[in-house]
Structure 1
Amino acid sequence: MAANLDDHHGEGTAKICMLAIGIGYLFPISAIWAAFDYWKVLFPDKNIEFVVTVVYQIGSVGTVALLSLTETFSLRRRIVGGFLGQFFCLAAILSFRWLLLPPAVLYQLLLGLVLVCSVATGYLDSALLSLCSQYASTMQQFLQIGIGFGTLVSVIYRDATKLLMSHDIEDATCAYFSIALATVIVCLASYRLLMSLPVSRHVRAASGQLDEKLLDNATSIESPLPLACGFSPGGCRDSEDSPAELELNCKAGSSFKTVIQLVWRNQLAIIANFTLTTFCYPGLITAIPCRQMLWLQPGHWFQTILLTVFTLFDISARFVTHIRCGLHHGNIQWTVVVRSALLPLMIFCAVSESSSDLLAMAVVATFGFLNGYCASLCLIVINEIPTLSAEQRKTCGRISACFVNSGLALGSVGGALAAHVFALGS
């Protein structure tokens, strides 16, 4: 009976769709990062991983900040527009092989496309967390698993194309970005499927996508998935106040100022966790030299393996966020303390001749696991704050998008400064 109910509402399909959407969320920039070996061939005198990360993150956070100023927006337009923007950026990068341009011009063109890609991702950022907050907290977990899979898939694609086309890095890169384009199309199709499912009925209603008859009976629409704090999709529907008072209270209670006062401690944990992410990934990881396993030096295979190790442990951790280890929305800040303790070891592996390749792999694996677990959990538990209504969670999702991107931007700038101070990648 329960299985039939799940099939009726499409909950299982919805989770798979959210997983696929998460894959596409950061997949394009992950694909660009994973092709670091190709960029080293095109631009041998550039620390391109750090520069690309700074340009991308600053563009993304700027976009999200500007979009967050709007009072209302269309989830569909931002999500579809974001995926299409990412698709065209990857298509343009794919064409590099046939562009007879000097390396300096290609370099500027690449940075320009990364900036455009960051704007497209900013549109996704501003909508996806708000979309996810309209479902149960388990959907946020599947989104986070998908984000981890996006990085993993990009690295696996790169590993496979390098192995199968080891004789020609241009052929391998061409095949790599062609597969990447197909992946973005699958992610866009998954969003369209998600919106067609019964489990998304309340989201379509709120977006004005249901027919007139359904909208006339909007007060009877309930989410097939239980929301974390027990509110219906309407925001404050369980109150005994009149409909007019309900609408007024919900609008007043879901403003940016009101919500940020409720969640600022959690948002600080979010920004700190994501600062640590881009401080180390990918630039610091790909700057760790191969010291003993010299057979992995050709083709930058050692750094490719490090990225693969990071992503494997990152995605593994996203599957165990249901194991809380005593962590909840009130003490999630401890994740920042634990991850910060690992940062000196990461820098040691990159700059010290006393380090070893095995130590580097162990430290990167640990950092990857903590990244997947801590960064995901801080976004999950914020939706479990019991005092937040559904409308406040939607606003919280928009705020979280700003803090996520602010952290990623701060981390990328910090990583670039560290690269300059320690002469990384030179």
Structure 2
Amino acid sequence: MAANLDDHHGEGTAKICMLAIGIGYLFPISAIWAAFDYWKVLFPDKNIEFVVTVVYQIGSVGTVALLSLTETFSLRRRIVGGFLGQFFCLAAILSFRWLLLPPAVLYQLLLGLVLVCSVATGYLDSALLSLCSQYASIMQQFLQIGIGFGTLVSVIYRDATKLLMSHDIEDATCAYFSIALATVIVCLASYRLLMSLPVSRHVRAASGQLDEKLLDNATSIESPLPLACGFSPGGCRDSEDSPAELELNCKAGSSFKTVIQLVWRNQLAIIANFTLTTFCYPGLITAIPCRQMLWLQPGHWFQTILLTVFTLFDISARFVTHIRCGLHHGNIQWTVVVRSALLPLMIFCAVSESSSDLLAMAVVATFGFLNGYCASLCLIVINEIPTLSAEQRKTCGRISACFVNSGLALGSVGGALAAYVFALGS
């Protein structure tokens, strides 16, 4: 049963801890993406942003899929192990400056570290869902907000280090990854602090061993992905049938086959939206060249600003999803149509000499806003389908998590193919 934060002391500290944990969840890969300018210096002939995204997304999806096959696991080991894995990956990347290795070897080493980082994040992915299900829903909201701010924090770190150390990109990158390491340590310390608070007494009492089957009785389970589905009470539990009939009906009605027949249109919108996300971010955005604002060309400042613009608009859009503009679960597919219409403009800005820097910034800002709004909204409205029971919503949430991760992986592969076809970043 989820704990009621209002009945315990230290709930404010618990919320801050969960916010910090959320920031650290996707922070390492965001940090690697934000350091794209350093990778362009080390590997000038590689489209590294696209390849890194493919390796990371496929590794993460594979890890989550394998871990989902286990029925019991240690919550503490997965979270601590996940953060430690991320820490050592960033520490190894920090050491690149002092490694006297050929660029080709460093390139393979970087991809290997990204793969390890994806595995570590996969461990966090599987554990954070279970952790949040043990608390009241407000804690899940703070986790989601933290995840959303993780990308923004990485971009702000990169902007600050480049501004303060503009004379040397290697010094700026060392400072950047040093701060990134400190951030991961803070996230790990936040988890340990959270576990020491009175609100986590019930989690500690479980001795770190959670049975996935027991999570079916939680009042609310959400994916650790930003603004994922929430679940409300009702459904089968509100039935007046006998316990035996109730259990049988719930199992039959909440099966994968039954639920997917009810929500497949919405799931197609989810996978399409998240495919568009990684198709363009970060590779296509960082491949847009600077054409008129030549003072932003040194140090790849133009692309750095584009990433910052995308992130700011993406985050801001997540706070206005209550404004629906007529969208609901029955017509959410229009979000895919609108975002797809913007895709040719994104490619135009990257490949056409007749494009302008102002147009590129406007298109990236629009794409960022639509990404935050549409990707979040398609996950929200699927939970508002009136014909779904509470048990079916739980199954739907797990299906949505699969479609989200599949979309991210498909988009990264599509972006890499587009980079090859259009010779982006070369």
Regarding TM over 0.5, the answer is yes
CA displacement 1:238-275 (0-9 Å, x = unmatched): 44445555455545544433433333222211111110
When structure 1 is superposed on structure 2, of 285-294 and 130-139 the one drifting more is: 130-139
CA displacement 1:316-365 (0-9 Å, x = unmatched): 11121222223233332221111111111111111111111011001101
Q: How far, CA to CA, are the matches of 2:402 and 2:217 in structure 1?
A: 34
CA displacement 1:136-168 (0-9 Å, x = unmatched): 776665444333311111011011111112222
Flag the 1:308–1:244 CA change in 2: closer, same or farther, 3 A.
same
Flag the 1:379–1:224 CA change in 2: closer, same or farther, 3 A.
closer
Q: How far, CA to CA, are the matches of 1:217 and 1:422 in structure 2?
A: 50
Q: Residue 22 of structure 1 contacts residue 144 of structure 1 at CA under 8 Å; is this kept in 2?
A: yes
When structure 1 is superposed on structure 2, of 57-66 and 79-88 the one drifting more is: 79-88
CA apart distance, 1:69 = 3.8
Q: Residue 166 of structure 1 contacts residue 172 of structure 1 at CA under 8 Å; is this kept in 2?
A: yes
Flag the 1:213–1:78 CA change in 2: closer, same or farther, 3 A.
closer
CA displacement 1:24-57 (0-9 Å, x = unmatched): 2221111001001111111111111111111111
Flag the 1:253–1:368 CA change in 2: closer, same or farther, 3 A.
same
Flag the 1:2–1:134 CA change in 2: closer, same or farther, 3 A.
closer
CA apart distance, 1:125 = 3.1
Q: Residue 17 of structure 2 contacts residue 194 of structure 2 at CA under 8 Å; is this kept in 1?
A: yes
Q: How far, CA to CA, are the matches of 1:278 and 1:149 in structure 2?
A: 18
Residue 333 of structure 1 pairs with residue 342 of structure 2: no
Q: Residue 133 of structure 1 contacts residue 394 of structure 1 at CA under 8 Å; is this kept in 2?
A: no
Q: Residue 145 of structure 1 contacts residue 318 of structure 1 at CA under 8 Å; is this kept in 2?
A: no
CA apart distance, 1:374 = 1.2
Q: Residue 72 of structure 2 contacts residue 210 of structure 2 at CA under 8 Å; is this kept in 1?
A: no
When structure 1 is superposed on structure 2, of 262-271 and 244-253 the one drifting more is: 244-253
Q: Residue 223 of structure 1 contacts residue 232 of structure 1 at CA under 8 Å; is this kept in 2?
A: no
* Identical-residue share of aligned pairs (%): 100
Q: Residue 286 of structure 2 contacts residue 307 of structure 2 at CA under 8 Å; is this kept in 1?
A: yes
CA displacement 1:120-147 (0-9 Å, x = unmatched): 2223334445655777776665444333
Structure 2: 5+ residue stretches without partners: none
Q: How far, CA to CA, are the matches of 1:343 and 1:155 in structure 2?
A: 23
Q: Residue 221 of structure 2 contacts residue 394 of structure 2 at CA under 8 Å; is this kept in 1?
A: no
Flag the 1:350–1:81 CA change in 2: closer, same or farther, 3 A.
same
CA displacement 1:192-245 (0-9 Å, x = unmatched): 555667777888899987999999999999999999999877985444445555
Q: How far, CA to CA, are the matches of 1:198 and 1:237 in structure 2?
A: 30
When structure 1 is superposed on structure 2, of 105-114 and 90-99 the one drifting more is: 90-99
When structure 1 is superposed on structure 2, of 376-385 and 134-143 the one drifting more is: 134-143
SS in 2 for 1:220: coil
Flag the 1:378–1:396 CA change in 2: closer, same or farther, 3 A.
same
Q: Residue 205 of structure 1 contacts residue 215 of structure 1 at CA under 8 Å; is this kept in 2?
A: no
When structure 1 is superposed on structure 2, of 130-139 and 296-305 the one drifting more is: 130-139
CA apart distance, 1:59 = 1.3
Flag the 1:330–1:15 CA change in 2: closer, same or farther, 3 A.
farther
Flag the 1:201–1:336 CA change in 2: closer, same or farther, 3 A.
farther
Flag the 1:213–1:267 CA change in 2: closer, same or farther, 3 A.
closer
Flag the 1:308–1:103 CA change in 2: closer, same or farther, 3 A.
same
CA apart distance, 1:91 = 1.8
Flag the 1:36–1:53 CA change in 2: closer, same or farther, 3 A.
same
State TM-score, norm by structure 2: 0.84
Q: How far, CA to CA, are the matches of 2:222 and 2:240 in structure 1?
A: 17
Q: How far, CA to CA, are the matches of 1:220 and 1:403 in structure 2?
A: 20
CA displacement 1:79-131 (0-9 Å, x = unmatched): 44333322221122122222222211111010001111112222333444565
Flag the 1:174–1:116 CA change in 2: closer, same or farther, 3 A.
same
Q: Residue 194 of structure 1 contacts residue 200 of structure 1 at CA under 8 Å; is this kept in 2?
A: yes
CA displacement 1:174-198 (0-9 Å, x = unmatched): 1111211222233334445556677
Q: How far, CA to CA, are the matches of 2:343 and 2:216 in structure 1?
A: 55
Flag the 1:91–1:236 CA change in 2: closer, same or farther, 3 A.
farther
SS in 1 for 2:219: helix
Q: How far, CA to CA, are the matches of 2:90 and 2:78 in structure 1?
A: 18
Structure 1: 5+ residue stretches without partners: none
Q: How far, CA to CA, are the matches of 1:288 and 1:186 in structure 2?
A: 34
Flag the 1:366–1:327 CA change in 2: closer, same or farther, 3 A.
same
Q: Residue 231 of structure 2 contacts residue 383 of structure 2 at CA under 8 Å; is this kept in 1?
A: no
Flag the 1:318–1:143 CA change in 2: closer, same or farther, 3 A.
farther
Q: How far, CA to CA, are the matches of 1:226 and 1:60 in structure 2?
A: 16
Flag the 1:225–1:20 CA change in 2: closer, same or farther, 3 A.
closer
Q: How far, CA to CA, are the matches of 2:14 and 2:48 in structure 1?
A: 38
Residue 26 of structure 1 pairs with residue 45 of structure 2: no
CA apart distance, 1:423 = 1.1
Flag the 1:170–1:158 CA change in 2: closer, same or farther, 3 A.
same
Q: How far, CA to CA, are the matches of 2:280 and 2:117 in structure 1?
A: 21
Q: How far, CA to CA, are the matches of 1:221 and 1:57 in structure 2?
A: 23
Q: Residue 23 of structure 1 contacts residue 149 of structure 1 at CA under 8 Å; is this kept in 2?
A: yes
Q: Residue 125 of structure 2 contacts residue 224 of structure 2 at CA under 8 Å; is this kept in 1?
A: no
CA apart distance, 1:398 = 3.0
Flag the 1:213–1:138 CA change in 2: closer, same or farther, 3 A.
closer
When structure 1 is superposed on structure 2, of 225-234 and 276-285 the one drifting more is: 225-234
State TM-score, norm by structure 1: 0.84
Q: How far, CA to CA, are the matches of 1:218 and 1:2 in structure 2?
A: 7
Flag the 1:380–1:214 CA change in 2: closer, same or farther, 3 A.
closer
Q: Residue 28 of structure 1 contacts residue 180 of structure 1 at CA under 8 Å; is this kept in 2?
A: yes
Q: Residue 202 of structure 1 contacts residue 223 of structure 1 at CA under 8 Å; is this kept in 2?
A: no
CA apart distance, 1:70 = 4.1
When structure 1 is superposed on structure 2, of 352-361 and 22-31 the one drifting more is: 22-31
Flag the 1:193–1:299 CA change in 2: closer, same or farther, 3 A.
same
When structure 1 is superposed on structure 2, of 258-267 and 205-214 the one drifting more is: 205-214
When structure 1 is superposed on structure 2, of 127-136 and 311-320 the one drifting more is: 127-136
CA apart distance, 1:418 = 0.9
When structure 1 is superposed on structure 2, of 236-245 and 403-412 the one drifting more is: 236-245
